[in-house]
């Protein structure tokens, strides 16, 4: 028979858990202001979080310059493979139109259009994909169109993302805002909200205006370029829609436009792993970015952005050099997630906790000998 002392501890623990649960259920979660013109944006400026000096792993200058060396060959090879596959899948989708055989073909085409182009847009925005400038700019323009991301607007937006990574009120590209909405995150896999947002911004810009937050990071000298691109794109989409109506067929839209939605799932799947569940308002990318080992197909689609801590710490290192850079400096980083599944096993519980505790984040241990985390003072 159990005595009272043996019963007391489990009872106290149960009461404690119930009490904590009631507190969490009734607590008001602080709503961060992620807008670029709100209170948190001003606070970041006042407190020195804006354009702060970030931690970098100590690596000799000649060595990092060697990693930063650009080359045309890897990107030319990958770009030829990408477009050959897109043409093949596009032709196959049209040929098998009306048959179930077309479904996997269109799915493959969509992933290359709506996900691989996300990483091409991203890498080319850094100017590091190719050594030859016009090649970089050409792929950047094509990928920007496919992703419905104005190439002028998003170049400045992404520059801010790197300057103020996951700084609330400063970073315009925070995906998992706190408290997180699982509905919005799941909706992201359909590409619907992102596509509609891109089309809305395109039409606003085409009318000669900027969206409110755009004015915070787009220089006045670049506004006319934003408007000109939006008007060209609006004209292209008008032609595609008109052709689809004239032919009484979805095929033109299946080739241009709709893949931005039905092919978005892979870039969302990989993109969420970049920063979700990690720290906000810090100045050490090891605290707010995540490196994940991935299979070769995902790495081709994602263009090695799974080495995301490395990319943020040294953003001018080309994508094809990131695996080597990772091997060189991983002893200063928290252990990389072994797979996408492993990453999500870390992310989902963290986001669930953030529903009630917006200050919660995953703090991963550093290996022995690594420099301690540099927290924002």
Q: What confidence score (pLDDT) does residue 213 get?
A: 85
Last residue of a domain, one of 262, 285, 300: 262
Give the residue-averaged pLDDT of 268-283: 97
185 within domain boundaries? no
Q: How many CB atoms lie within 10 A of CB 323?
A: 14
Read off the pTM.
0.88
Residue 8 above 70 pLDDT? no
Last residue of a domain, one of 206, 231, 262: 262
Lowest mean per-residue pLDDT among 28-32, 131-135, 159-163, 306-310: 28-32
Range(s) of the domain holding residue 240 = 79-163+192-262
Task: State the average pLDDT for the chain.
Answer: 92
Q: Are residues 58 and 103 in the same domain?
A: no
Q: Are residues 249 and 334 in the same domain?
A: no
Q: Are residues 111 and 146 in the same domain?
A: yes
85 within domain boundaries? yes
Last residue of a domain, one of 227, 262, 297: 262
Q: What confidence score (pLDDT) does residue 7 get?
A: 45
177 within domain boundaries? no
12 within domain boundaries? no
Q: Are residues 137 and 213 in the same domain?
A: yes
Residue 155 above 70 pLDDT? yes
51 within domain boundaries? yes
Q: What confidence score (pLDDT) does residue 216 get?
A: 86
Q: How far apart are CA 83 and CA 86, in angstroms?
A: 5
Q: Are residues 53 and 102 in the same domain?
A: no
Q: Are residues 64 and 88 in the same domain?
A: no
The pLDDT confidence band at residue 259, using thresholds 50, 70 and 90, is very high
Q: Are residues 127 and 258 in the same domain?
A: yes
**Model pLDDT for residues 345-366, shown as the tens digit of each residue:** 999 999 999 999 999 999 999 9
Q: Are residues 87 and 150 in the same domain?
A: yes
Q: Are residues 128 and 208 in the same domain?
A: yes
Residue with tokens 């707010």: 288
Q: How many domains does the chain have?
A: 2
């Amino acid at each position: 028979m159990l005595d009272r002392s043996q019963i007391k501890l489990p009872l106290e623990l149960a009461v404690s858990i119930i009490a904590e649960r009631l507190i969490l259920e009734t607590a008001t979660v602080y709503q961060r202001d992620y807008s670029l013109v709100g209170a948190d944006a001003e606070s970041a400026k006042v407190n020195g979080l804006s354009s702060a000096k970030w931690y970098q792993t100590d690596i000799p200058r000649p060595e990092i310059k060697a990693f930063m060396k650009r080359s045309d060959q890897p990107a030319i090879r990958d770009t030829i493979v990408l477009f050959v596959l897109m043409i093949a899948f596009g032709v196959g989708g049209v040929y098998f139109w009306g048959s179930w055989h077309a479904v996997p073909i269109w799915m493959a085409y969509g992933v290359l259009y709506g996900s691989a182009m996300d990483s091409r847009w991203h890498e080319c925005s850094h100017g590091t994909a190719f050594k030859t400038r016009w090649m970089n700019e050409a792929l950047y323009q094509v990928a920007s169109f496919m992703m419905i991301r104005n190439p002028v607007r998003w170049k400045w937006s992404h520059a801010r993302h790197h300057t103020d990574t996951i700084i609330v009120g400063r970073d315009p590209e925070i995906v998992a805002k706190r408290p997180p909405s699982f509905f919005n995150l799941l909706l992201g896999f359909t590409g619907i909200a992102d596509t509609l947002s891109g089309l809305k911004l395109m039409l606003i810009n085409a009318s000669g205006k900027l969206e409110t937050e755009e004015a915070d990071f787009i220089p006045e000298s670049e506004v006319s370029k934003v408007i000109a691109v939006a008007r060209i794109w609006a004209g292209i989409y008008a032609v595609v829609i008109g052709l689809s109506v004239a032919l009484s067929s979805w095929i033109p839209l299946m080739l241009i436009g709709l893949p931005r939605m039905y092919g978005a799932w892979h870039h969302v799947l990989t993109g969420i792993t970049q920063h979700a569940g990690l720290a906000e308002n810090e100045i050490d990318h090891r605290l707010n970015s995540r490196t994940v080992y991935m299979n070769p197909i995902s790495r081709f689609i994602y263009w090695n952005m799974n080495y995301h801590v490395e990319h943020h710490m040294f953003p001018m290192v080309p994508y094809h050099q990131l695996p080597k850079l990772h091997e060189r400096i991983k002893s200063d980083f928290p252990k990389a997630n072994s797979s996408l599944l492993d990453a999500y096993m870390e992310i989902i519980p963290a986001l669930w906790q953030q529903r009630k505790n917006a200050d919660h984040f995953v703090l991963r241990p550093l290996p022995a000998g690594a420099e301690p985390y540099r927290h924002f003072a």
